[in-house]
Amino acid sequence: MNSENQQIKVEVLINDLLAERNLFLRELARLSGIKPSNLSNLPNGKRKKIYLEHIEKIAEALDIDAISRIIRLNKKETK
């Protein structure tokens, strides 16, 4: 597989984390201090930039110590 034919996309796993903890997005927004609209745009790919500060706040709010629980790299084939 040639790396020229792959695109890497960052996925934010907020929906998985919320489901695991039986939380709603608004509750995570309250706990993290991040606007609900900013949080909802992370997992659906509408944001082109992901701020490390947001990842840190999410990790702190949910007591997560591994960034891989919040984000994942997804390699996709391009043509």
The torsion angle over the Cα atoms of residues 36, 38, 41 and 47, rounded to 10 degrees, is 180
Domains of the chain with CATH codes: 3-77 (1.10.260.40)
SS3 of the chain: helix, strand, coil, percent, to 5: 50, 20, 35
Q: CB count, 10 Å around CB of 56?
A: 13
Q: What is the mean pLDDT of residues 1-9?
A: 72
Structure confidence by residue, pLDDT tens digits, 10-25: 899 999 999 999 999 9
- Helices marked H in the chain: 14-21, 25-32, 36-41, 52-62
Structure confidence by residue, pLDDT tens digits, 38-65: 999 988 877 788 899 999 999 999 999 9
Q: What are the tokens at 52?
A: 């490390």
